[in-house]
Structure 1
């Protein structure tokens, strides 16, 4: 290992890097924004020392804070405050502003086929954020322009063809078997020629990189299967630039960028190889990772010895300047580091005792109470625990055992006369995170309110919206719509006027009456409107109950038509029909993954809101208890904006003041393990609670907060303090309600990389696994012979952490100095 740079020395702060097991030096930071700051400082430090060097930088959401920090430092290099910030982080501004135009840039990868003009292409990303954003010289940038690779004219049997991607790959599917089989027709002959040309282009691309001496500075993330670039699990560590397929985990991770798994399944990739990255033995190769979800692949990459094709990043072991910059969550499975931390503690907390005893019991497959001293002393972690606690072994086992039991007992308690405000980043996070806990407390004495913080439009595909448009067309052509229109069922929101229609395409549809303007009548109209919105839900649920698809479609079509009227301020059936035609043409012209115009974003978001209304309608809650906040930071950009007080925090704070909940729930994802909106909603909720506590201290101080996690991020049993049992009946409720209400999600267009299927199935598997672990720790008899039939029926568990408002603020770990805006 080369010596650490001044920036790295500052970040490490004198701590050991634990080289005995960790094959790649690793620096652990507090949170995701801190990773961006460190990588920016290290990158500019390297450029200062390597003018004219070769750099390769990542695309996607991973480098968000890296890009922001580099741009901030470059744009304000001469500002004394910025220079003080650089010096405080080990970067010496006196060595001069880095010469960014001197750099040679290597694009890491690109989907294929891909139009480089699409804003979700990596080619466009590089042009925007690196060439323009960093001020690189375009002439020194080696890019992957899929529209030109292999597209020179082809002559076959005297006939010349002009080529483009759509002609060569009409359905965007590339058949790699044409590399080695005989073409069956003229078009396949063209495809085989193009494939050969692409392979030659990749070889030339690789050769050009090597002529430059190889990559000097490489920055990348690590995929869910451990991939670096698009070198997926199983890739040869000596592989070079090539056109290749991906695996399911990579396709799932790319689904949001490409407009759905349906698209990403068909795409190949052009990627530099692991051998490309490691060609230059002096390459500074940095991998960044955040959150506990990345812990397994981080551990495998850093600790596996010798390097293994199942851990692509382990190919970096040969580089003396390779580094991992990761958060504490991503470091949670680094054994040597964890052991050193444990040994550094003069004593072990009860939570540490519980953690290590649970892990020992699960590993050995025995009850906690049956663990023997020999078994515990044979493992260095539990041996260290025993050495740091003075109590007898039996007492420590009872401590861990009783802790688990008490958490289950807390989970089966009934809460009465409470007011809940359930918050979620997306419309299905509550459901997937802790639906059984909601259902448990649905009684006549409790009031439940549900607040979705973002619009969620990015998870609605163009294809799904097209089905809604067609359903609306059928509804307008049917017999029910004219009657509802005549009754004023579709009047716009009270503040949007509905003037009389001068004529009607549907002769049986008279003008929809305009709402009155007096305050008293406006209030009455608002109540009527809320009632008709709820009627949409009841019609749909009647269809579900009766297994009547036509009635289901009528309910969703009623709401979709209402949403069209609201979004576009439509007043006549003619306008409705015309707008449906406009939307159809828009969708036909749009490419998958394209950022939508504001009206389509809103319309897609309202499709998600409809789903949430239907879900809570399952349990009897009306639309006036369901709050769609549509926080403004969520705009569908590559990088989600940081929350701001006025736009994003105040709406939550005002809702808190309106409802005055005794219990508030929040998705607790402090390191950005799941979608980045989870992390940013956590910022907004945490800040809103701070305002609420200032304004209503007496009420806020008594409030209890439930932190939950879902399919992206999980609690260890020792972290949570409330285990809610889940029965087979609740599994059925979870599955049926999800599949019936979340139509945009049930086909899993944006699935988890952990399961090729709907999220409800993944949620069930997580809850069942949490039960399995507890059953080992407590013993099967504890469940099977328990006097409470609810415990005997348990087949899954929801883990929650109940906190005071002060505990929550501490746990959220929001460092405002790194997020700036709040």
Structure 2
């Protein structure tokens, strides 16, 4: 059986003194999912040997999908049978038809049930088609079926941004049972992109209650990504309260939280380990601790004293290093050296204390943009600086971004084209066909290939307009249209060798001295994560093939569309003045189909230019508070070492 292992975070009792639930932290969600899948498979096999059934409580959403992938793999490759398995799903939207693309019935069939030998009579999912007057009786019967099956052996959970488990929203009671509930606005907002608009998200759902979940013999809650880190910290370390339903799990005697490093990043033993036990100090941890202390006390780095360090659990650091003054000066210099107005390196100067090399000049710079606007949103100021300073800038748009274009944009562009070519009957017929399709299109319905192509062309035209505005030569704009993305639906295909080959070929043709890629992994549907993984795999292949040009190539990761790097992690910070901030916003405005209202805004309702401006200004403000020079705004980068 495939093995997985937890990371080397402190696991002694002292270091976990703030945690009220057992937590296990993994390098990646894949490793964590493998652990959960193995535990489920082992129980199934054990019960089969005893001639007994297994009762599983199952969740939907993006969190458990890899677990289901592994279970399907165990069935097909290892012969794991599911004939003795009985399942009860947590919830279902109401009302909801089972064949809808948003239905959890369809989700479970596509991800698990259609690929294993489970008996259909053993599958139970709340019924979203019931008349309202029949829901109460159904819920009572659902509880009876769980009890008759012997209770749930393993309950799999995800967690919502409000701390909901299942659809038990804030305010749910500890003893609540399966019932019809009204969904919290935050929950509906988080689901809006899946439904192509908040107005299409059902306002109600049928869900198992907190009491139903708590009755399970074993509970496994999984969480991935930084977007879940704050609510995980509250759930694991906070007080039990109805406003965060996941905190009720602290009452359970056999509950594990299975986390990736990003979801665990706000736990005390991960974020501030010096508060729970003595640390083995290294330069990176010293920097993080000093910056944390500076922000905590609202004092510039150079104003921290021995007493401040002692008061916040860092007395052994003072003992090891010698004095606060020594530590402060070291960290201050480290931070100051991350700041540069020359992201391509400053020619004819000493670069020993700068984040980028001064040679060669000019550099070939390749910026990867997962969607057609991530480049200007996340690093528009740096892009402009690179062009202004004479570097040869290429931009590679990894996906078409076609699903993020509103339908009326298609009609607007075709109207324009028809008026421009009034004699073109074929174009006029195309417009009629498009209008007819869009008139009857249901939320989430996949567009025809022709409409997908038009939407892709709209975004391509906007990206080219932004390139022209920034001074990037149009021939240096590369539209990769990676195949994994081109499904016409929110759910994408797994990336393939073809995606990697397209990226490999572009890299090998440009042979850049600098690569910028999106390290912003909290976008709602994981496109950034997949795009970055494809780049990593292409680089690994190039290294294996002995590409000599990689010996003189730096890879920088940017963020900004969905989150920002922590100051302690930033290795290059590029100041942006007021004029360049205006130029950056103007470049973002070229993406008109995303202006005013984006198709997939995530959990932040502001426009992307507003988010970028606020995050860039906040970064500059943090640097200033730490004792650095005062700038209007800053974009931060982390270097990725691929060799």
Same fold (TM over 0.5): yes
What residue is the counterpart of 2:642 in the other structure? Answer: 808
Q: Distance in 2 between matches of 1:342 and 1:375?
A: 13
CA contact (8 A) 2:306 2:318 kept: no
Distance 1:695 1:322, change over 3 A: closer
CA contact (8 A) 1:261 1:750 kept: no
Q: Distance in 2 between matches of 1:135 and 1:697?
A: 47
Distance 1:226 1:414, change over 3 A: farther
Q: Distance in 1 between matches of 2:491 and 2:68?
A: 10
Q: Distance in 1 between matches of 2:286 and 2:303?
A: 15
1:722 deviates by 0.9
**Partner SS for 2:434:** helix
What residue is the counterpart of 1:279 in the other structure? Answer: 215
Choose the corresponding residue for 2:335, options 404, 407, 410: 404
Distance 1:621 1:9, change over 3 A: closer
Choose the corresponding residue for 1:304, options 210, 228, 238: 238
2:493 is aligned with 1:641: yes
Q: Distance in 1 between matches of 2:155 and 2:172?
A: 18
2:569 is aligned with 1:719: yes
Deviations, residues 555-578 of structure 1 (Å, cap 9, x unaligned): xxxxxxxxxxxxxxxxxx222222
CA contact (8 A) 1:411 1:723 kept: no
1:132 deviates by 1.8
2:419 is aligned with 1:466: no
1:370 deviates by 0.9
Matched ranges for 1:200-239 at <5 A: 200-239=137-176
What residue is the counterpart of 2:188 in the other structure? Answer: 251
CA contact (8 A) 1:261 1:748 kept: no
Q: Distance in 1 between matches of 2:4 and 2:285?
A: 30
Q: Distance in 1 between matches of 2:124 and 2:512?
A: 56
Q: Distance in 1 between matches of 2:475 and 2:407?
A: 25
Q: Distance in 1 between matches of 2:341 and 2:416?
A: 51
What residue is the counterpart of 2:600 in the other structure? Answer: 750
What residue is the counterpart of 1:586 in the other structure? Answer: 437
Q: Distance in 1 between matches of 2:263 and 2:139?
A: 34
CA contact (8 A) 1:22 1:336 kept: no
Matched ranges for 1:102-141 at <5 A: 102-141=84-123
Choose the corresponding residue for 1:424, options 369, 387, 409: 369
Q: TM-score, normalised by structure 2?
A: 0.89
Q: Which has the larger radius of gyration?
A: 1
Distance 1:797 1:448, change over 3 A: same
Distance 1:247 1:778, change over 3 A: farther
1:451 deviates by 0.5
CA contact (8 A) 2:618 2:633 kept: yes
- Quick check: 357-366 or 719-728, which moved more? 719-728
What residue is the counterpart of 2:614 in the other structure? Answer: 765
Distance 1:732 1:409, change over 3 A: closer
CA contact (8 A) 2:5 2:26 kept: no
2:304 is aligned with 1:359: no
CA contact (8 A) 2:55 2:154 kept: yes
Deviations, residues 442-491 of structure 1 (Å, cap 9, x unaligned): 2272221111112222323xxx2233224422541x3xx24xxxxxxxxx
Distance 1:426 1:474, change over 3 A: closer
Q: Distance in 2 between matches of 1:436 and 1:326?
A: 35
Q: Distance in 2 between matches of 1:328 and 1:425?
A: 23
Distance 1:25 1:444, change over 3 A: closer
What residue is the counterpart of 2:281 in the other structure? Answer: 348
Structure 2 unaligned blocks of 5 or more:
348-360
Deviations, residues 237-263 of structure 1 (Å, cap 9, x unaligned): 333323333334322321232123342
1:338 deviates by 5.6
Q: Distance in 1 between matches of 2:557 and 2:34?
A: 28
What residue is the counterpart of 2:509 in the other structure? Answer: 658
What residue is the counterpart of 1:441 in the other structure? Answer: 386
What residue is the counterpart of 1:23 in the other structure? Answer: 20
1:618 deviates by 2.0
Distance 1:745 1:197, change over 3 A: farther
2:39 is aligned with 1:45: no
Q: Distance in 1 between matches of 2:269 and 2:541?
A: 42
Distance 1:672 1:796, change over 3 A: closer
CA contact (8 A) 1:640 1:676 kept: no
What residue is the counterpart of 1:710 in the other structure? Answer: 560
Q: Distance in 1 between matches of 2:277 and 2:147?
A: 46
What residue is the counterpart of 2:266 in the other structure? Answer: 333
Q: Distance in 1 between matches of 2:561 and 2:577?
A: 18
CA contact (8 A) 2:268 2:275 kept: no
Q: Distance in 1 between matches of 2:7 and 2:392?
A: 49
**Partner SS for 1:422:** strand
What residue is the counterpart of 2:466 in the other structure? Answer: 615
Distance 1:750 1:338, change over 3 A: closer
Choose the corresponding residue for 1:242, options 169, 172, 179: 179
Distance 1:629 1:417, change over 3 A: same
CA contact (8 A) 2:400 2:459 kept: yes
What residue is the counterpart of 1:57 in the other structure? Answer: 58
**Partner SS for 2:570:** coil
What residue is the counterpart of 2:74 in the other structure? Answer: 73
Distance 1:22 1:14, change over 3 A: closer
**Partner SS for 2:281:** coil
Distance 1:722 1:301, change over 3 A: same
Structure 1 unaligned blocks of 5 or more:
1-5, 79-96, 151-193, 483-505, 510-572, 784-793, 810-822
What residue is the counterpart of 1:534 in the other structure? Answer: none
Distance 1:288 1:391, change over 3 A: same
1:384 deviates by 4.2
What residue is the counterpart of 1:686 in the other structure? Answer: 536
Deviations, residues 361-396 of structure 1 (Å, cap 9, x unaligned): 11111111111211211112x334334x32422011
CA contact (8 A) 1:420 1:662 kept: yes
CA contact (8 A) 1:221 1:228 kept: yes
Matched ranges for 1:695-706 at <5 A: 697-706=547-556
Task: Judging by fraction of residues, say which structure has more helix.
Answer: 1
Q: Distance in 2 between matches of 1:393 and 1:300?
A: 32
Distance 1:370 1:30, change over 3 A: same
1:210 deviates by 4.1
CA contact (8 A) 1:104 1:140 kept: yes
1:31 deviates by 0.6
Distance 1:15 1:134, change over 3 A: farther
1:340 deviates by 5.7
**Partner SS for 2:242:** coil
**Partner SS for 2:610:** helix
Distance 1:15 1:706, change over 3 A: closer
Distance 1:370 1:433, change over 3 A: same
Q: Distance in 1 between matches of 2:316 and 2:393?
A: 46
What residue is the counterpart of 2:355 in the other structure? Answer: none
Distance 1:775 1:248, change over 3 A: farther
What residue is the counterpart of 1:798 in the other structure? Answer: 635
CA contact (8 A) 2:495 2:530 kept: yes
1:118 deviates by 1.5
Q: Distance in 1 between matches of 2:342 and 2:545?
A: 31
**Partner SS for 1:442:** helix
Q: How many residues align?
A: 622
Deviations, residues 707-746 of structure 1 (Å, cap 9, x unaligned): 1122334322121111112334444344444344242353
CA contact (8 A) 2:63 2:224 kept: no
Distance 1:633 1:692, change over 3 A: same
CA contact (8 A) 1:256 1:593 kept: no
1:301 deviates by 0.9
1:40 deviates by 0.9
- Quick check: 390-399 or 244-253, which moved more? 244-253
Q: Distance in 1 between matches of 2:581 and 2:7?
A: 46
